Amino acid sequence: MTVSAKVAMAPRTALYLLLGRIGFFGLWLLQPLWILWIAPPVLGNQYVLLVLMWLPLWLPLWGILKAHAYTMAWANFIVMIYFLHSLTNLWVTDGTKFILSVIELLLASLMFIGCTYYARNRGKELGLRIPRLKDDPRQ
């Protein structure tokens, strides 16, 4: 039994977990749909692009399914790829790719907010914290 299973989850924490998962799985589904079917790239190999854009989302998959607060926290580093991708596309494209970029930005924002606040709240519930330097008696 893991530590997270021993402490009940507050409703607000569960909401943030749901938001983070919706954003994550939305991005996870959007990438192959976008790259392979909806708007394939004009130049280059679409499978190389698929690997570059979809592979990072596989890294935190298990931890997000298991609701590990630590995984949710570091998954925010990965979601920055999709923020940059969507913002760049919003700046330079129009039409279908513009709409897909808006969806990607919304999903990335949802994942970022959900993962951030889930990790924060769940960490507090579990009694995990980063010690402050002023609290260290050796200082």
For 4-39, how does the pLDDT look when each residue is reduced to its tens digit (9 = 90+)? 457 899 999 999 999 999 999 999 999 999 999 999
Q: Distance (Å, rounded) from C-alpha 105 to C-alpha 85?
A: 9
Percent helix / strand / coil, the chain, rounded to 5: 80, 0, 20
CA dist., res. 70 & res. 90, Å (int): 31
Is residue 44 a part of any domain in this protein?
A: yes
Residue 41 contacts residue 93 (beta carbons within 8 Å) = no
Rounded to two decimals, the pTM is 0.88
Range of the domain at 114: 12-128
Closest CA to 72 of 29, 25, 31, 120: 120
CA-nearest of 62, 75, 101 to 19 is 75
Q: What is the DSSP letter of 10?
A: P
| 26 lies in some domain | yes
Look at residue 1 and tell me if it is in a domain.
no
Total domains present in the chain: 1
The 10s digit of each residue's pLDDT in 43-63 is 889 999 999 999 999 999 999
Is 135 inside a domain boundary? no
Structure tokens at 85: 């991708």
